[in-house]
Amino acid sequence: MKKVLGRIYILIIMLFLYLPIFALIVLSFNESKSMSVWGGFSLRWYQELFRSRIMMGAIANTFSIAILAALIATIVGTMAVLGMAAMKPRAQNVLLGLNNIPMLNADIVTGIALMLFFLMVRAPRGYMTILFSHATFCIPYVILSVRPRVNKNTDRLFEAALDLGASERYAFRKIVLPELRPGIMSGFLLSFTMSVDDFIITYFTRGAGINTISTLIYSEVKVGIRPSLFALSTIIFVVALVVLLTVNYRRDKAEKIRSAKPAL
């Protein structure tokens, strides 16, 4: 009985989560522009999407900003973690407290704060201001994912390398960095997805002439929903599905390999 109830409950939640997305996917293939009339199967909205120079530009902006912001955040964040490891606990806690602010703050506050800052320093708003802002909200996530990797154990491995004759630089490159790599990678990926997903902060820190996918969707929706946005939704959904499936599959496989041969 309990199991059946559980299954029904899962089903209801799944329907709630996926029916709207499913509706978008179906409508993206609708020849008719109407949301309530099925006019036959068509790919014309996909064509329209790919022909739109504005959309292609927005996609390029979104991904180039995401990659650069994630890269900057990863470097600055990882260095910050390493530097903090050399500090007294008090100083570390102060920095971590400051680090928490952008994460706990509402996006709208972060957005307008950065906007005011750019106005104050007379920075022309555009690509660079978006990039700066994205790096700002990504750094905390990098720090959170790298920091757990810098611990007593890392210290001991570093010492072990020195003990075996390695120079500090060599030990860092060959031992510490590989130890940090999973944290650095997940910090980078987290930053990347946060940046791609962001709308609110971009909205306040962009200039007039520049769009990311999010801001373009917002301005189009305000004017009236065009079916090419359904096509975009479908594409994003499929890409997300494929990426997540591969990541999960690879992790499962790695886990299987690890558990296949139990420790002797």
Partner 1 sequence: MGELIRLEGIVKSFEDTVVLNGIDLSVDENEFVTLLGPSGCGKTTTLRIIAGFEKPDEGRVYFEGKDITDMPANQRPVNTVFQNYALFPHMTVGENIAFSLRVKNRPESEIKKKVANALKLVNLKGFENRRIDRLSGGQQQRIAMARAIVNEPRVLLLDEPLGALDLKLRQEMEYELVRLKKELGITFIYITHDQEEALTMSDKVVVMNEGYIQQEGTPQQIYDEPVNAFVADFIGDSNILSGQMVDEKVVRIDGIDYPCIDGREEGFPPRRRVDVVIRPEDIDIVPYGEGLWNGTIISKLFIGVHYEMLVQSEHGKVEWLLQNYDQHDVGEKIGMYVDPENIQIMHKPKSEAEHAIELDL
Partner 2 sequence: MIARKSYSIPFIIWIFAGTIIPLASIAYYGFTNREGNFTFDNIMAMFRGDHLQALGLSLLLAFISTLICLMLAFPMAMVLRESKYGKQGFLIFVIILPMWMNFLLRTMAWQVLLERQGVINALITAVGLPRQEMMNTPGAIVLGMVYDFLPFMILPIYNTVSKIDNHLIEAAYDLGATKSKVYTKVILPLSVPGIVSGITMVFIPALTTFVISNMLGGGKINLIGNIIEQEFTVNSNWYLGSGLSLVMMVFIILSMLMLQKFDKTGGANLI
Residue 60 binding partner per list partner 1, partner 2, none, with a CB distance cut-off of 5 to 8 Å that depends on partner kind: none
Residue type at 164 in one-letter notation: L
CB atoms within 10 A of CB 61: 21
Q: Which residue of 96, 162, 200, 235 would you call a contact of partner 1, by CB under 8 A?
A: 162
Minimum distance from residue 91 beta carbon to partner 1 (Å): 14
Q: Where are the alpha helices (DSSP H) in the chain?
A: 2-28, 44-51, 53-85, 89-104, 107-120, 127-146, 152-163, 168-171, 177-197, 200-205, 213-223, 228-260
The answer to the question of residue 186 lying near partner 2 (CB under 8 A) is: no
Quick one: which segment of 127-135, 174-182, 197-205, 239-247 binds partner 1 (CB under 8 A)? 174-182
Phi, psi of 30 (to 5 degrees): -85, 125
Q: Taking the complex as a whole, how short is the minimal distance between the CB of residue 153 and partner 1, in angstroms?
A: 8
Copy the structure tokens of residue 69. Answer: 């912001």
- Cβ at position 159, least distance to partner 1 in Å: 5
Residues numbered 90-149 forming contacts with partner 1, rule: CB under 8 A: none
Q: Which of 71, 96, 112, 157 binds partner 1 (CB under 8 A)?
A: 157
The residue from 14, 100, 159, 242 that contacts partner 1 (CB under 8 A) is 159
3-state secondary structure 54-68: HHHHHHHHHHHHHHH
Could you tell which of partner 1, partner 2, none binds residue 170, using a CB distance below 5 to 8 A set by kind? partner 1
* Interacting residues with partner 2 between 98 and 157 (CB under 8 A): 98-99, 101-102, 104-110, 112-117, 119-120, 132-133, 135-136, 139, 143, 150, 154-155
8 A C-beta contact, residue 211 and residue 61: yes
Cα–Cα dist 227/42, whole Å: 11
